[in-house]
Structure 1
């Protein structure tokens, strides 16, 4: 069977590529990585070190002409969660414009301008996308679904916590697949039982099985143009109408809550430690113990805002040090550096308390050891990459399922 050709956008350090190319069924034919807020393009440098610079673009994707992007079977990317609100352009009442710098519209543009758009989309985002913004819960996801509908795609989605399926990190993300109306998978969704697709027969359900439970099902249509949606979607609602799983086709949403069904082995934080190979830099000096303990601990205290306003501040305690017999907490972008922090991981070893190393953080995302190692790139920056990355094992399993569905 021929490999499926892939365009990888917002590539970061290549998590999607690692997951898809692992079994030799996909080939990335063009990639783009651009970090707008930094002069030195560190992530792109790591990407080129690992995969070569050929057919890799390190330019602002919003400025890259669609003609520079080759045709491919699949478009993938983990794009930032931003404000997707839409307005009409002043010059052209028919033209739509999203907020400046919102990268979703670059995907939208490429799909709309291509003579032969990709048949399949495989995208990832934080699960907050399903309920943002707080003033109109679910509006942003509704805009995305509607814009894909207008481009001829059906969509299925699922919020997946990697640790629920035996992976070493509790990292919850929404993954969604798009199927162009020219594909047999689109027709399968259109003609089949939508709830069965979500629970049993769909691409994501085959990769990540769920329990057959009778959760309430919600079905509704997304009507009107994108501007009307942007202004009016769920204005009165306190909750998002989107559950953690669903299908969207021909303007109609079918959504329900699902729970993972997994009874295999479970990787834990203790499995990935480099004990015996860790330099002193990662160990916490005893003088800093009280500061770490305070930040990790429960608090109920009065605080004063810059304005002089006094308020009661409270937060719960965190496990300190981190439990080695469970999957780790979610890695965040501020994981690196020596300064005490509430959110950084700390583990107890025979030699003392210490932070996690770049290799350990890579392992929690199921990257190869030293994937992000490159001269001139600090350990703090390497930790930042992993805070932005996805769990490669999730991509691999969904990619495998999609390939099988396309070729069955």
Structure 2
């Protein structure tokens, strides 16, 4: 490719999207950073801002690894769209929030996104670039899998708002819920990935011309090529998302019987949705938690579980059927909870990393492994490996912060596989 695909990375965290698209020091995440990557991408502008903390540690890590050029540590809502350079692709792992909109008579636009919701910042930037005559060709986003069925009162409404608002800006949208471990990667982390193609882009023309929507989902789309799957439904669902954004916010899914209409894979073209339930089809090498462990001699002593706390760990991870009392009301109730495998099995991919993985205190959800007969927690490097980051990528901050970053991160290999497929299509188009 003669010209790099220029990327803007929002909600950048410690750079998972960037690692997947650019690689690290010329090496590929899918190879464990052992083989070169011929990257067609260049991140030209990035932003990371954590509103709940004074110390902007994630941004500091990002800047330490990738340099300060083009990187910003500021609330994206305070950044004018014209301060962001024109670009080919916008990427980001945006938070899962309430995406509702309301009609307002005081604003000429007629609609107002809920204050502080970061999806509307993405929308603002895309619309401004479109209005300027420089539309962003591709949008690549990541969110939690429950995005497809929120909020509880109107299952699927939030995703319908996102799809409709992208369609109104001229985008076709593919989505796929991907569990990285289903495709040989080292962590059972299920996330919704969204790809939007502007109508002026070559890929938009590919997905809207000559093949049906089901074929895009199962065979011809970017996700279908990068993550092959088998069909679990006899027939796909098709429906149109009607109304303006306020109508959708008020009425979507009101008669759905409490179920979201969105399955784990789908495509939307011109607000017409086709969606199916699919299952990963993968027969290659599978990385396990045991493959990621450091040598015992390299593990700090503080990561080993003290004998005095072992009973507490076992209790928290064990099955429970016990009476408990609500401290505020004094009400007694029966508490039931299933047991967890303890310690974590080394012959499977890791469980999903959570933000509270750090610290020595006993916890139900922290990983515990047995290495040479000794129980211990996972180190920051091992948590990085679970997300396919380079070793010590998050060094320079506390171990608790490093664990928090990995609980918020994505599995880099997913991004690399999608990025490769997009670049291959654009190379073929030239």
TM-score tier by shorter-chain length is over 0.9
The Cα shift of 1:394 comes to 0.3
CA distance in 1, matches of 2:155, 2:65: 39
Structure 1 contact 46–372 (Cα < 8 Å) conserved: yes
> Does 2:241 align with 1:226?
no
> Does 2:95 align with 1:86?
no
**For each residue in 1:342-387, what CA deviation from the matched residue of structure 2 results, as whole angstroms up to 9, or x when unmatched?**
100000112511000000000000000000001xx11000000000
Of stretches 162-171 and 113-122 in structure 1, the one that deviates more from structure 2 is 113-122
Q: TM-score, normalised by structure 2?
A: 0.93
> Does 2:340 align with 1:318?
yes
Q: Give the length in aligned residue pairs.
A: 406
1:297 matched to which residue of 2? 318
Q: Which runs of 5+ in 2 are unaligned?
A: 24-36
> Does 2:36 align with 1:11?
no
**For each residue in 1:243-300, what CA deviation from the matched residue of structure 2 results, as whole angstroms up to 9, or x when unmatched?**
0000001010000001111000000000000132101100110111111111101111
1:188 matched to which residue of 2? 206
1:273 matched to which residue of 2? 293
The Cα shift of 1:304 comes to 2.0
1:244 matched to which residue of 2? 264
The Cα shift of 1:7 comes to 0.4
1:380 matched to which residue of 2? 400
The Cα shift of 1:212 comes to 4.5
**Residue 304 to residue 206, structure 1, CA distance change in 2 (3 Å):** same
Alignment of 1:81-230 (within 5 A): 81-92=96-107, 94-114=109-129, 115=132, 116-191=134-209, 192-230=211-249
The Cα shift of 1:185 comes to 1.8
Structure 1 contact 149–250 (Cα < 8 Å) conserved: yes
Q: TM-score, normalised by structure 1?
A: 0.98
Structure 1 contact 162–391 (Cα < 8 Å) conserved: yes
Structure 1 contact 215–258 (Cα < 8 Å) conserved: no
Of stretches 83-92 and 353-362 in structure 1, the one that deviates more from structure 2 is 83-92
The Cα shift of 1:66 comes to 0.4
Structure 2 contact 231–277 (Cα < 8 Å) conserved: no
Structure 1 contact 275–349 (Cα < 8 Å) conserved: no
Structure 2 contact 228–282 (Cα < 8 Å) conserved: yes
**2:41 maps to which of 22, 26, 42:** 26
2:307 matched to which residue of 1? 286
Q: Secondary structure at the match of 2:363?
A: coil
Of stretches 337-346 and 187-196 in structure 1, the one that deviates more from structure 2 is 187-196
CA distance in 1, matches of 2:307, 2:114: 48
Q: Show structure 1 runs of 4+ deviating over 4 A.
A: none
Q: Secondary structure at the match of 1:173?
A: strand
2:83 matched to which residue of 1? 68
CA distance in 1, matches of 2:193, 2:282: 18
2:280 matched to which residue of 1? 260
The Cα shift of 1:404 comes to 1.0
The Cα shift of 1:90 comes to 4.2
The Cα shift of 1:405 comes to 1.5
Of stretches 181-190 and 70-79 in structure 1, the one that deviates more from structure 2 is 181-190
Of stretches 293-302 and 365-374 in structure 1, the one that deviates more from structure 2 is 293-302
CA distance in 2, matches of 1:250, 1:45: 41
**1:340 maps to which of 347, 355, 362:** 362
The Cα shift of 1:97 comes to 1.6
CA distance in 1, matches of 2:104, 2:231: 46
CA distance in 2, matches of 1:57, 1:117: 22
CA distance in 2, matches of 1:104, 1:311: 40
The Cα shift of 1:189 comes to 2.1
1:50 matched to which residue of 2? 65
